[in-house]
Structure formats: C-alpha cells, structure tokens
Amino acid sequence: MTFQGNGPLEGGNVSAGGGGGMGRGMVIGGGSIGTVVIGLLIYFLTGSTGGMTQAPQQAGPGLSQAEQQLDEKLKNCTKEQANSDTACRIKATTISLDKVWPTVLRGYQPPRGGTKIMPVGAQSINTACGVAGADTGPFYCPSDQVAVFQLDFMDRVIKKMGGTNAPFSQEYIVAHEFGHHVQTLLGDINKSQQGRGAQGGSVRVELQADCYAGVWAAHADKGPDAMLKPLTQEEISDAITTAQAIGDDTIQRNAGRNVNPESFSHGTSEQRVRWFSQGYRTGAPAQCDTFSGTI
C-alpha cells in the first residue's frame, strides 16, 4: 500500500489506448520515426510477445471492447483502488507526478497528450512518433507529449525480466517516463541523439530520467497533501530491483548475449540504481546532471 486517503481519484489526463490491426506502421521503441521516442526498454529482448498477436474484438468506432472497459474503469478509479489495481495505480501516480513536479521545477506543465494505457490484447498504438506495437514497452513521445504504458508489461513482463510488479516498482516506471517529459520541457530530450554506446546521449538521457524518478519519490510522500504514504525501505528496494533488472548489461546477459557497451542505450544496472538513488537522496533536479563528465 503506497497511496493514502479515500474517495475518487480527481484529475489526471489518463485514458485507454491501443487497438487496431497489424501492419499500420513501423514498430518503435527506443528509436525514432521522424522524432525521438524514449522507452524504458525494448520488450523484444525478452524473446516473447506474450501472445498479443491478434487484433482485439472491436466494440465500436475507434475503441475496442477492452479499451472501452478500461476507459470506464479509469474514469471511476478511487484512491483505494490505486493500491490494488494497476490501471488505477498508473493514474494515481501521474496525478502525484503532476502535483510534485511544479514544486521543484518552475514552469512545469503536465504532458499535453496525457497518458495512454494499453489493455492486454491491444496490438498497437498510434502516436506522433509513429505506430508502436504492444511489444515496445513503456515509452514517451515528445512530439505529442504522451506517455504510454501496457498493462501486460506492468503486471507480467517486468517480473519475467527479473524485476518486480510491486506497487512502487510500477510507480517508478511511470515516474521514469515522466522524467522524459521533464527533459522535453527543459529542452534536453534531443541530447539522446548525441553519440552512441555506453557514454552516448541515449544512455545519459535514460539515466537522467531515472534520477528524475528518484526526485519525484523524494517528495511524493512529503507534506500535508502528499498522495503517498511514507515510503518504506522495502518499497524503495522494489524500485531498485526493477532498475537492476532493466540495465543494458543484465538484459543482454539474460538474452544469452555477450555484454556489448557499444550497443548500450539505457545504462548498466549499477548506473540505473545509482542515478535513481541520487535523485531520491537529494530530491534536487539540479543533482541529475548526467551530461557532464563520465557517467
């Protein structure tokens, strides 16, 4: 249990996304179609698509039956449900993020495109960055300022990869993608295109997003209007476990590959834990400068 209080979750620009058939566009994730797309990781490295290969049953124009049901749930989420239901937890986390960031960053504005959640069975989602498949993993598209999360990834895939689907671990994933939104507001997001490999721009941008997730965590349980209960060391450990599981080196080893720093895009397990911890320990965005010196 991380969220406190009771009653409806008020605010938040969160809705169901996804659906449609295959072949509507190129699959993206950590790459670009006309613009940079920033993802937590690339799901295809797990070697499985989780059975999500058939188009969902359509219940009406534009939205599948599963999407309509998810939209209805999101509209009626309560604070209590944020502690038991993944979709409502994502919504609650985005509300918390949009409350915390204005207190630590002057000029912060919520993502204008909001947050989209893909239900299990959704094959793809169309954004200004292109069409992303269900196997892309969580990502953020700067062009329309939208963060995308897949319920199957949050509940099952991250655990399969060695992380945890514990509540605060899922909240860390959401906060990481919102870290990319902060980078967009500050004009740093395109630095991901500067250089490649272990010291390249992509790794530096991803590690900064981890640090920004830590900054949010440092403030999310503070003050009279805090949405989160005081975080425990176990909850912080959950986020660290997930950060370790999604380091480039760990992903490559688990996929049976030799570790190749020149192919890194997100940073090692040690780096991801260190930069998240830096943000959490200091609570200061200025302490998240991954662009100066060696990381």
CA pair distance 194, 205, nearest whole angstrom? 10
Could you tell me the pTM of the whole model? 0.88
> Does an H or E element contain 115, and which?
strand 114-118
> pLDDT value at position 193?
86
Percent of the chain predicted with pLDDT > 90: 76
> pLDDT value at position 59?
36
Mean per-residue pLDDT, 96-112:
97
> pLDDT value at position 72?
96
CB burial string 260-270: b at 16+ within 10 A, e below: eeeebbbbbbe
Strand-pair category, 114-118 with 124-127: unpaired
> pLDDT value at position 35?
39
Tell which wins on pLDDT, 52 or 97: 97
Give residue 77's pLDDT band: very low, low, confident or very high (50, 70, 90).
Answer: very high
Amino acid at 102: P
Tell which wins on pLDDT, 273 or 42: 273
**pLDDT, tens only, 8-21:** 999 999 999 975 43
Residue 257: exposure state from Cβ atoms within 10 A (0-12, 13-18, ≥19): exposed
**pLDDT, tens only, 132-163:** 888 889 999 999 999 999 999 999 999 999 99
> pLDDT value at position 133?
85
pLDDT over threshold 90, residue 86: yes
pLDDT over threshold 80, residue 290: yes
Q: Domain limits of the chain?
A: 14-20+29-47+63-287
pLDDT over threshold 50, residue 45: no
pLDDT over threshold 60, residue 25: no
Cβ–Cβ < 8 Å for 213, 175: yes
pLDDT over threshold 50, residue 48: no
